[in-house]
Amino acid sequence: MDLPLIRVVPAPDLAALLLFCAVWLGYGPAVRMLGRRGGRAINAGLPTVRVLWMRSAVLRDNRITDSALIGHVVHSASFFASTSLIAIGTLIGVLSGLDRLMPALAGLAPALPTSRELLEVKVLLPLAVLVHGLFKLTWALRQLNYTVALIGAMPPPPVPAAEAEGLAEAVGGVLSSALTTFNAGTRSYYFALAAFGWLAGPYVLAAAGLGLMALLVHRQFLSDVSGRFATARLLIERAHGRGGQSPP
């Protein structure tokens, strides 16, 4: 494309694109900020649960279960990363054959004529989302490998209480960073699907982005799972002698 973006993308499409990008890139930080202010966001309580998990791992002699659980996440991250590569390759192939696809794609929104340059931008959006997600997934894999190494290097019990607490905080922090990055990578699939709505017009893209955000927020804060998770987290904290406040 040799035209400036502002000339290729009409104003309604540009507004929808900016809204989508704000939702896509701002969802994770917004949920973390809201979680720190209270409420029963699942992701806000997971770091504490992971630290307590690592605390239990430090204090027990047999850590096969811990390694198996993390290995399961490693396999999941590898699967999603491999699938992302396939999807990225497919979209690159679509970009090279847009001239043949334009008549079919024009039928999605016959009242909204689309130039080839704008169609390229529309296909580049889900491609960019998937590439961003691929980088997240591969970085999550690296961090999970670091976590496995740290668990393997844990000294056998008994471990002094102060050292056990510090080790649990450190390893749990690495694990939380890995899984937070993994979650961001898997969310790219949701947002890539929403990005395809742009092919049907800017209003569909805006509605898809806002609808997806509403769905994700509902899962985090208002679903039955979020309430049960908050209750279980409180009970786990009490079992570890950390007390904690009652879930809202």
Instruction: Name the percent of the chain lying above pLDDT 90.
Output: 57
Predicted confidence (pLDDT) at residue 175 exceeds the cutoff of 80: yes
Q: For residue range 176-201, list pLDDT tens digits in order.
A: 999 999 999 999 999 999 999 998 88
**Nearest-angstrom CA–CA distance, 54 and 1:** 51
**Nearest-angstrom CA–CA distance, 165 and 96:** 55
Q: Are the C-beta atoms of residues 147 and 175 closer than 8 Å to each other? A: yes
**Nearest-angstrom CA–CA distance, 113 and 116:** 10
Q: For residue range 207-246, list pLDDT tens digits in order.
A: 999 999 999 999 998 899 988 998 999 999 999 887 655 5
Q: For residue range 98-145, list pLDDT tens digits in order.
A: 777 777 666 665 555 567 788 888 999 999 999 999 999 999 999 999
Domain ranges of the chain: 5-239
**Residue in 219, 239, 232, 226 with CA at minimum distance from that of residue 39:** 226
Q: What is the CA angle 170-174-176, rounded to 5?
A: 110
Rounded to two decimals, what is the model's pTM? Answer: 0.87
Question: How many CB atoms are closer than 10 A to CB 217?
Answer: 16
CA distances from 56 to 26, 148, 239 (A): 34, 15, 11
